[in-house]
Amino acid sequence: MEKVRGALVDEFESLEGERVAVICDIDVDGLASAVVLHHSLEEVGADHTLYFSPPAKFEEVVAGIVGECDALVAADLGATAKDAILDARSEGCRVIIIDHHKLLEDINPHVLVHDTRLCAAELCYWATCDLHSKDVRLPVAYAAFTDYMEEESVVLSEVLKMYDRRKVFSEASLLDYALGLMDEEERRELAVRLVEDSVCHVEEVFEKAREMMVEEERFLQKAREVAECLNEYVVAAVVDEAHPAMTGRIAAHVAGVKRRPVGVCVRKGKISVRVVDRRDEIDAARAVRKAAEAVGGRGGGHAPAAGGVVPETKVEEFLEKFAEEVRKQVEG
Ligand SMILES: [Mn+2]
């Protein structure tokens, strides 16, 4: 936190009057990053627009907007950003990246704020906090919670002194579920609104969260039925019709139900992995990456929560290799 504090203040102040594109991930951490970045850029008088993109589409989004902006600020998207950043730089765009995913390659932006111990929204928060006139810690706390980055989160511990944990965690969870059913315009409006408001006043969040939770319940049941144990460490469920926002929770669910430390959910070649028992120190990101690359795909993320993409025809082969990678990690 001390290392990051104020890191973007001069940088943002130099953006006054510039055209800035802000691109954030589509989850709670991305939304909370957008809240913080929007507030900070507003304070310095930058002419900015918020965009939301899953990491896999980052390059596409950048290609569509880079011609019209002087600076690009991206949060929670960095790990796979190399080509997108290269494109933006070649268009003369200043590139600022804030991220907490493991960096697997030299992504080379102009400015990089990076640490794996805090969520992206909290990195955004500390890097810009001296610019804030409003308290935007509540959405940052939501993100620290939903991104499982609670342990080192200073913002979350401060927020939990001001508000009861049941308020913070229930609002964060509702937001997490609701975001899966929101489009870019709805996310944009919500990010602007959450600068001064809390989730409990946004009716749409309750409606969409409920819809998503009911839908998820159906897919958890389905996943339990189709889940297959690949060895004593890994269980996998192929659920092609599930909503993409559910796959992490499905992966964790089947792991718990089948009493395996690692759960995998596959949806149309997209892989989600969760480690629910961390005693064996399994690094899911490393195992996904190795197995995915072996079948012509790619992957990464964090040790307890990882993901990837493989060709749909190679899913079986991927799962076999992945289970073997995990076994190797545990048994050395
Ligand atoms: Mn994140």
CA distance 328 to 332: 5
Q: Which helix (H) or strand (E) holds 237?
A: strand 234-238
Better-predicted residue by pLDDT, 82 or 4: 4
**Whether pLDDT at 324 is above 70:** yes
Share of the chain above pLDDT 70, in %: 99
Please tell me the distance between residue 30's alpha carbon and the centre of ligand 1 in angstroms: 7
User: 124-166 pLDDT, tens per residue?
Assistant: 999 999 999 999 999 999 999 999 899 999 999 999 999 999 9
pLDDT grade for 79, boundaries at 50, 70 and 90: low
Please tell me the distance between residue 149's alpha carbon and the centre of ligand 1 in angstroms: 9
pTM to 2 decimal places: 0.88
Angle between helices 203-226 and 184-193 (to 10 degrees): 130
Return the pLDDT at 41: 98
Please tell me the distance between residue 122's alpha carbon and the centre of ligand 1 in angstroms: 10
CATH number of 225-331: 3.10.310.40
Please tell me the distance between residue 76's alpha carbon and the centre of ligand 1 in angstroms: 5
Neighbouring-strand partners of residue 52: 24
DSSP readout, 55-82?
Answer: GGGHHHHHHHHGGG-SEEEEES-GGG-H
Contact 274, 252 (CB under 8 A): yes
- Distance of CA 42 to CAs 68, 75, 116, 163, Å? 19, 17, 27, 27
Neighbouring-strand partners of residue 21: 49, 72
Please tell me the distance between residue 29's alpha carbon and the centre of ligand 1 in angstroms: 5
Mean per-residue pLDDT of the chain: 95
Residue range(s) of every CATH 3.10.310.40 domain in the chain:
225-331
Please tell me the distance between residue 331's alpha carbon and the centre of ligand 1 in angstroms: 30
Q: Which residues surround ligand 1, an ion (CB under 5 A)?
A: 29, 76, 120, 147
**Whether pLDDT at 104 is above 80:** no
Please tell me the distance between residue 100's alpha carbon and the centre of ligand 1 in angstroms: 7
Contact 18, 48 (CB under 8 A): no
**Whether pLDDT at 80 is above 90:** no
CA distance 268 to 252: 18
User: 191-230 pLDDT, tens per residue?
Assistant: 999 999 999 999 999 999 999 999 999 999 999 999 999 9
* The domain defined by 9-201 carries CATH number 3.40.640.10: no
Return the pLDDT at 226: 98
Angle, CA 330 vertex, CA 265 and CA 115 arms, to 5°: 70
pLDDT grade for 103, boundaries at 50, 70 and 90: confident
Share of the chain above pLDDT 90, in %: 88
Residue range(s) of every CATH 3.90.1640.30 domain in the chain:
9-201
CA distance 165 to 254: 27
Better-predicted residue by pLDDT, 16 or 79: 16
User: 164-190 pLDDT, tens per residue?
Assistant: 999 999 999 999 999 999 999 999 999
**Whether pLDDT at 303 is above 80:** yes
Return the pLDDT at 286: 96
pLDDT grade for 87, boundaries at 50, 70 and 90: confident
